[in-house]
């Protein structure tokens, strides 16, 4: 069963105010996850999403060459604004697939694909179960799918469970990507209020990949970036600095 469909931003003319309201709403929902502890939705089945939400494109399953790099980006509270700043600076010819994991419980709708598509030169899609990763594409993991992994160059996920630990969704993603892409893996940790991603950062670096953290003073919530810094990173800077760093590493051949 696919996650619930969010509001259709494309149903009315898109204006800066429309996008600003969607960003504010998404950030408000993210901030709300910091205090909601007992609101679990009913378990979802294991089929994964099989269709796009309104107003967002859907990832195709078309096969293509394996991306030379895989970039993983995780964020929580304060992360939508950081993601906008990051993706606004990434070039259209980025020689990497990008997977974005934003902490949202299954009962929250998401506008992230729509929001990022407004600022990104790269095509942004909601990831499909088993969809093959392609270079110069951004894949947004849908909410409610706690365990997101990369296997054989494809995205796979399982739904949120009532007994699933909170705040660790990036770690299985980072670890699985490191196992699949090895030294070609780049993990990016942005604004957030827990230590999610710190374990994954260690796994990526152990595999020869690179770890990146938003500078704590640049993040709306610094706990996640600080945890990544303590785990060890190869680069730390503003969201814009991170975009330039990624573009330099993932230049087309």
Is the residue at 74 inside a domain? Answer: yes
pLDDT at 1: 40
Is the residue at 9 inside a domain? Answer: no
Is the residue at 16 inside a domain? Answer: no
Query: Rounded CA gap, 72 and 133, in Å?
Result: 12
Q: What's the domain range around 63? A: 50-159+166-249
pLDDT digits (tens, 9 = 90+) for 145-172: 657 889 899 998 876 555 555 545 789 8
How many structural domains is the chain composed of?
Answer: 1
pLDDT at 161: 57
pLDDT at 157: 82
Is the residue at 28 inside a domain? Answer: no
Burial 147-170 (b: 16+ CB within 10 A, else e): bbbbeebbbbbbbbeeeeeebbbb
Is the residue at 121 inside a domain? Answer: yes
Closest CA to 219 of 199, 191, 192, 194: 191
Is the residue at 131 inside a domain? Answer: yes
Query: Rounded CA gap, 146 and 165, in Å?
Result: 9
Give Cα separations from 192 to 66, 95, 210 (angstroms): 31, 27, 20
Is the residue at 239 inside a domain? Answer: yes
pLDDT at 49: 43
Is the residue at 195 inside a domain? Answer: yes
- Three-state SS at 74: strand
- Low-confidence stretches of the chain (pLDDT < 50) are 1-14, 19, 28-55, 58-61, 167
CATH classification of the domain holding 148: 3.40.50.180
């Amino acid at each position: 069963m696919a996650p619930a469909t969010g509001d259709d931003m494309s149903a009315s003319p898109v204006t800066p105010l429309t996008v600003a309201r969607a960003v504010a709403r998404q950030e408000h929902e993210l901030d709300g996850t910091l205090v909601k502890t007992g609101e679990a939705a009913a378990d979802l089945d294991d089929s994964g999403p099989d269709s796009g939400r309104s107003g967002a494109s859907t990832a195709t399953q078309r096969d293509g060459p394996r991306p030379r790099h895989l970039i993983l980006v995780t964020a929580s509270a304060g992360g939508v604004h950081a993601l906008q700043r990051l993706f606004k600076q990434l070039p259209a010819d980025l020689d990497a697939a990008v997977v974005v994991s934003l902490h949202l419980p299954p009962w929250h709708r998401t506008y992230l694909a729509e929001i990022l598509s407004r600022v990104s030169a790269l095509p942004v899609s909601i990831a499909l179960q088993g969809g093959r990763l392609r270079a110069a594409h951004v894949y947004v993991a849908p909410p409610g799918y706690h365990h997101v992994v990369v296997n054989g160059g494809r995205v796979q996920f399982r739904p949120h469970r009532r007994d699933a630990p909170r705040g660790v969704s990036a770690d299985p993603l980072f670890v699985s990507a490191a196992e699949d892409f090895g030294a070609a893996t780049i993990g990016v940790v942005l604004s957030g209020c827990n230590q999610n991603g710190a374990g994954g950062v260690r796994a990526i670096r152990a595999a020869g990949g690179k770890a990146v953290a938003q500078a704590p003073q640049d993040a709306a919530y610094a706990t996640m970036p600080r945890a990544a810094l303590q785990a060890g990173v190869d680069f730390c800077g503003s969201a814009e600095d991170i975009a330039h760093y990624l573009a330099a590493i993932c230049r087309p051949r």
